[in-house]
Chains A and B, each alone.
Chain A
Amino acid sequence: MSSSAPSSVETLTVRTRFPIWLRLIFVLALLFAFLVAIRLMGSSIKAFGKGAAGSMFDGVANPFAGLAVGTLATVLVQSSSTTTSTIVSLVGNGTLKLASAVPMIMGANIGTTITNTIVSIGHVRQGNEFRRAFAAATVHDFFNLLCVIALLPLEIGTGVLEKSASAISGKLTSIGGSEYESPIKQAVKSAGNWLQGSVEALGFEGKALAGVMLVIGIALTFLCLIFITKNLKVVFSGALERTLNKQLGRSGLIGIGVGILMTVAVQSSSITTSLLVPMCAAGVLTLRNAFPIMLGANIGTTVTALLASMGTDNPDGLTIALVHLLFNMVGVLLFYPLPILRDIPIRMAEKLAAGAQKNPFIVVAYVGGVFVLLPLLGYILLDK
């Protein structure tokens, strides 16, 4: 009689080490630390001096280079939230121009899809299972690529996203009142100053101090986002599971809502989309039913940048976060309502997956080309 038999249903039910309320308090503390980190990043880059900070981003004045930078940065850190939060911080302190930041935000959208593509490669030896998994992963890639193809030239020509976001941002800040500073913002400022004072007390000053603060800011942003996501996933795992179970046989607008809610709850579109890949691989979720959830995830993930904008003083921080939101919403409005347009990314993904099933080299060429080679070439060739 094995008392430690691992097969007992009862002993294998979900257990969490910490109570939910404690995790939620921890998440709130992490959110505060995240805002402090955003502020630290911004102020440390400013402390390098205007010339130095400005030259760092001169190259990305070319929108295609900016797109490449956004893609590469997100591929490297495997988190669009980190990239967009950093961009918000840079725009918020005036280091990065709003117009230069817009293509970077679009690039972050492309870069973030590599995570679920990597997840799908785990099924590579399983024939049809891999075909379904790879199609589920790449439909998100194709949708984001098509959005950029459609909206980046329009933005370069008209600046419509930037102008719209500026108008909304202007309205929102005027509601708050120019003189009013929220208690959260004041607390973030105090914590940032305290942290800077602590580093100064260690003997750092000038550019060395700015360098240390920048490293702390980036590391803190990254760590906060990782732990926020991890804890929220534990807190909401039951809801995620229930919601996905209900969504399996459904399609359409409700899927977009599910994708938004799931992503806002766990603060990561990669988690939402990566959850869908094994379900599609197993065949319990169809590509057409998974697609709207992915579109919802694109919209839901913009909440992180909006949160990050709370850590900046300049309304441009909020504007670029709104550009992220508008870009993803316009993308959905453009490609989802009409079946003929909706089918384009789905068919592209199905075709690529069918090819990849026959020839695995296509997978290597696709991932290497779209996520590394093209952005790298774009940056090298177009950087001033």
Chain B
Amino acid sequence: MFDWLQSLRDHSQLKKIQRQFLEMLADGRHIFDASSNALIGGTDPEVIREDLYTTDQRINRTEQAIRRELVVHGSVHGGAHVPALLVLMSLVKDAERIGDYAKNIFELALARPELGTDAERTALNECKDHVSKLLVRAAGLIESQDEQLAAAYLTESDKLQSLCDEQVGILMVEKGRNVVAAALAYRYFKRVASHAGNVVTSIVMPLDKLDYYPGKPDRDQ
């Protein structure tokens, strides 16, 4: 019950918290894929509703559990671990937001909106696949902590986010047809990619520059 013997072998509760965080990312990716498939692929949204909300609640519970565990960790280990705690406190918020955007995509899918021509639909689907792969790679990078791969990831994520912005820009000036759903979908995909990117910045950026991309000016400049 108290795992006293275990304590002599494993000293890192932070690693346990990291595992929980990776589960949050995996859950986020799962409901992002499910809701995006409902929006673009034609899956009946009602089929995934229960799974989506259950998974999102699990993400929220894990976020709260991690926060509690971080407070306990800080109390036991003191000041030396404060940077790690602050990083994780920030990262769990990004992972939780991915779940929220998956719910936004699901709500969009419930309206069964028009998503444009076949070519436009295909482009949207490719964007979705790219975001999904980025989510998987973000989790892998948190495990491997490979700085070079993380830097390459952030460059790629940045490009994808720019592509989403471009698409929204094009759709904004469309006249004569309803493109709101497609514009919103690109916007949500960009936000999911951005939150996954924020997670990866923890590998290459110092704590004060968390969420900022290397080599790029601050977003508010």
Given A238-B10, A239-B7, A243-B2: A5 touches B145 (CB 8 Å cut-off): no
Q: Which of A92-100, A145-153, A277-285 forms contacts with chain B?
A: A277-285
**Most chain B beta-carbon neighbours within 10 Å: one of A242, A278, A282:** A242
Residues of A within 8 A of B8 (CB): 20, 235
**Is the pair B145, A10 in contact by a Cβ cutoff of 8 Å?**
yes
Task: Choose from A3, A248, A265 the contact partner of B147 (Cβ within 8 Å).
Answer: A3
User: Is B88 located at the chain interface by the 8 A CB criterion?
Assistant: yes
B176 to chain A, nearest CB (A): 48
When C-beta atoms are compared, the residue in chain B nearest to A4 turns out to be B206
The residue on B at minimum CB distance from A21 is B8
A1-16 interface bits toward B, Cβ cutoff 8 Å, 1 = contact, 0 = none: 1110111111111111
* CA A275 to CA B72, docked complex, whole Å: 8
- B67 proximity list for chain A (CB < 8 A): 284
Stretch of B45-53, B75-83, B187-195 with 4 or more beta carbons under 8 angstroms from chain A: B75-83
Can you give 9 A-B contacts (C-beta < 8 A)?
A: A1-B147, A5-B203, A8-B145, A9-B21, A10-B145, A12-B14, A13-B84, A244-B76, A265-B4
Q: Does B13 contact A (CB under 8 A)?
A: yes
A5 to B145, CA, bound (A): 11
Residue of B nearest to A278 (CB): B75
Instruction: Verify if A236 is at the interface (C-beta below 8 Å from B).
Output: yes
Contact A243 B204, beta carbon cutoff 8 Å: no
Interface residues of A in 213-250 (CB under 8 A from B): 235-246, 248
User: A233 to chain B: closest CB distance in Å?
Assistant: 8
Shortest Cβ distance from residue A290 to the other chain B in the assembled complex, whole angstroms? 11
Contact of A13 among B14, B21, B72, B206 (CB under 8 A): B14
Q: Which of A15, A238, A258 contacts B6 (CB 8 A)?
A: A238
- Name B206's closest neighbour in chain A (CB-CB): A5
User: CA of A2 to CA of B15 in the docked complex: distance in angstroms?
Assistant: 22
B184 interface residue per 8 A CB criterion: no
How many Å lie between the Cα of A1 and that of B149 in the bound state?
A: 11
**Chain A interface extent, by class:** 35 or more
Contacts of B8-40 to chain A: CB distance below 8 A: 8, 10-15, 18, 21
Query: A175-200 CB contact bits vs B (8 Å, 1 = yes)?
Result: 00000000000000000000000000
Cβ-defined contact, B81 with A278, below 8 A = no
A261 within 8 Å of B by Cβ?
yes
Residues of B whose CB lies within 8 Å of any CB of A are 1-4, 6-8, 10-15, 18, 21, 67-69, 71-77, 81, 83-84, 87-88, 91, 142, 145, 147-148, 151, 202-207, 210, 214
B18–A9 CB distance below 8 A = yes
Most buried by B among A2, A12, A15, A237: A12
**Given that A6-B83, A9-B18, A279-B72 are known contacts, is A14 also in contact with B3, CB under 8 Å in the complex?**
no
Partner of A282, one of B14, B71, B148: B71
Q: Residue on B with the closest CB to A3?
A: B147
Closest chain A residue, CB of each to CB of B91: A9
8 Å CB contact of A9 from B68, B73, B84: B84
A237 contacts across to B, CB distance below 8 A: 7, 11, 76-77
* B14→A6 contact, CB < 8 A: no
Which residue in chain B gives the minimum CB-CB distance to A240? Answer: B76
Chain B residue nearest to A277 (CB atoms) is: B75
Also in contact, A13 and B210, with CB within 8 A (given A242-B3, A244-B72): no
Q: Does A239 lie within 8 Å of B4, measured CB to CB?
A: yes
Smallest CB-CB A-B distances: 3 pairs:
A239-B7, A12-B84, A238-B7
- A239 and B206 contacting across the interface, CB-CB below 8 Å: no
B interface footprint on A309-335 (CB within 8 Å = 1, 0 otherwise): 000000000000000000000000000
> What is the distance, in angstroms, from B198's C-beta to the closest C-beta of chain A?
12
B95 smallest CB distance to A (angstroms): 13
Nearest opposing residue in chain B for A233, CB measure = B76
| B87/A242 in contact, CB under 8 A | no
The reply to whether A238 and B13 form a contact with Cβ atoms under 8 Å apart is yes
The answer to whether A242 and B202 touch (CB under 8 A), given A16-B11, A235-B7, A248-B72, is: no
Complex CA gap A235/B206 in Å reads 30
Known: A7-B207, A235-B7, A239-B7. A13 touches B71 (CB 8 A): no
Nearest CB of chain B from residue A249's CB, rounded to whole Å: 9
Chain A residues within 8 Å of B6, by CB: 238-239, 242
**B151 touches which of A1, A16, A282 (Cβ 8 Å):** A1
Contacts of B84 in A (CB 8 A): 9, 12-13
